[in-house]
Amino acid sequence: MLRDRENTQGKRDEQPMPRQLKAALIEAGHRVFGGYSALLRLPHTARFAVGSVIASMPFPMVGMTITISVQHYYGSYSLAGALTAIQAVALALISPMLGKMVDKFGQRQVSIPTVLVWIVAATVLITAITAHAPTWVLYLVTPFMAAIPPWGAMSRSRWTHLLRGDHRATNQALSLSGVFDEAMWVIGNPLASILAVISGVLAFSFTGICVLVGAFMFLSCRETEPPSQTDMARAQGITRKEYRERQARQVARLRAQEGGNGRSGAFWSAGMIAVCATWFGLGAFQSAASISIIAFATEQGMKQMTGFVFACFSFSSLVGALLYGAKNWTIPLWKRFYFCLLVVNLGIGTFMFARNLWTIMVIYLIIGVCQAPTWINGNQLMLHLVPPIRFTEGMAWLSAMNSIGSSAGSAVAGQFIDRYGSQGGFGVVTTLALASLAIAFVGFRQIRSSTEEPILTELPA
């Protein structure tokens, strides 16, 4: 009897523990996800945020689809690398133009005709590949695959417009955009590898459907679209040029009031050039790593697993974005930027020592937590470095420089892979990763002086 009472009392003493654990988990979840859910509860934000991700599916899918399809039908990594390089160069050339046009004329006015061009180009390209058309046809059509509206930049522009003046919420919104981007890569990479192995037509068809659905979701949310320079100039009864000059003067005065830490009203500052050069290096070694991993997996008879390897990187990056955006950082932005850059560059630089695909997957899982924060830091750098009315253009230049670097990296790696196999490609990856770090630290003084304060720039109305 006494023993039963003791057992009953013991069970009563143990009961609160699960409740406390549950409460602690709820509290932790609220700290991590509470800010994100509050953002998505704002009117129309969930729709345009998700729509931008769906419409951006060409980014994770087109490059891998071209690589796998061309290698299957033409048996050449050099041709596959050259085509992806051409697409990346074209994307680099057209992205800043599209970003500038979006800022000038509006998101809908630029996005709709751009989407139509991409749909036609995708249809022609996959038809030519499956029909084993002459290579000059592929070279001719591939540049038009760069007709992709800057969905990510436009989404971030909407967030900064809606949350203007709220520094913490803006930081979380940029992190949330990074989370969505990584979710896109987590889904897109393995899906592209699976669909492209089955059929290039299937892969491109799925991507085209995503573009149309995502574009409709994003562009139909007109309530959240920031006014263009044309709209704001017309409202004030002045020309667009006069409006831009006026805004540049306001930005310069604002920075002077904040201590003059390196930004003027000009678009091309020393800090902006340094960041763009860094993004060039980042794109170079990461694209070289991607094509080298595909070759490595093919040599091991695991070609169908390449998408899952990249998905591990994206999944880890997604987790990093979630945790990064949950914290209200007081560490200066430049310190966070260089720390994340070091982890990613040095981690990928070790691929040449891997002996199997699983080792690469583990390395990706470890270093991926710093991948999305690196891009989030880049987004925040744009808030410090360029005038607010040209934010979309600034983001487009980041993507452009990354694409130029990607084209260079994939082209060089493709040549070495054809000659020396995957180990030759990984040698290029390590060299480019170290060179990228050197480029980043050349611009150390400019980046630090532009971002010393851990507070986002106040965006003028």
Domains of the chain with bracketed CATH = 40-223+246-450 (1.20.1250.20)
Per residue, what are the HEC states of 392-445? HHHHHHHHHHHHHHHHHHHHHHHHHHHHHCHHHHHHHHHHHHHHHHHHHHHCHH
> pTM for the full model?
0.69
User: What does the alpha-carbon distance between residue 291 and residue 136 come to, in Å, rounded to a whole number?
Assistant: 22
pLDDT at 216: 93
Instruction: Give the helix ranges, DSSP H, for 163-269.
Output: 167-198, 200-219, 229-236, 240-257
Copy the structure tokens of residue 49: 């945020």
pLDDT at 20: 62
pLDDT at 112: 92
Copy the structure tokens of residue 401: 């420089």
Within 10 Å of residue 256's Cβ, how many Cβ atoms? 12
Rg of the chain (C-alpha set): 24
Q: Report residue 34 CA to chain centroid gap.
A: 23
The helix (run of H) or strand (run of E) holding residue 289 is helix 270-299
User: What does the alpha-carbon distance between residue 261 and residue 275 come to, in Å, rounded to a whole number?
Assistant: 16
| Residue 41 per-residue DSSP state | T
Q: What is the mean pLDDT of each run of 10 residues along the chain (461 residues)?
A: 50 53 57 72 88 86 80 79 80 83 87 92 89 89 89 86 77 78 72 74 85 91 84 77 70 56 59 82 83 84 75 81 75 86 88 84 87 82 75 79 79 82 85 85 77 46 38
User: Angle at CA 198, nearest 5°, toward 140 and 316?
Assistant: 90
pLDDT at 250: 67
pLDDT at 222: 85
Nearby residues of 260 by Cβ (< 8 Å), 6 or more positions away: none
For the chain, how far is it from start to end, CA to CA, in angstroms?
Answer: 76
pLDDT at 217: 92
- Look at residues 366, 384, 374, 284 and name the one whose alpha carbon lies nearest to residue 335: 374
SS3 27: helix
pLDDT at 248: 67
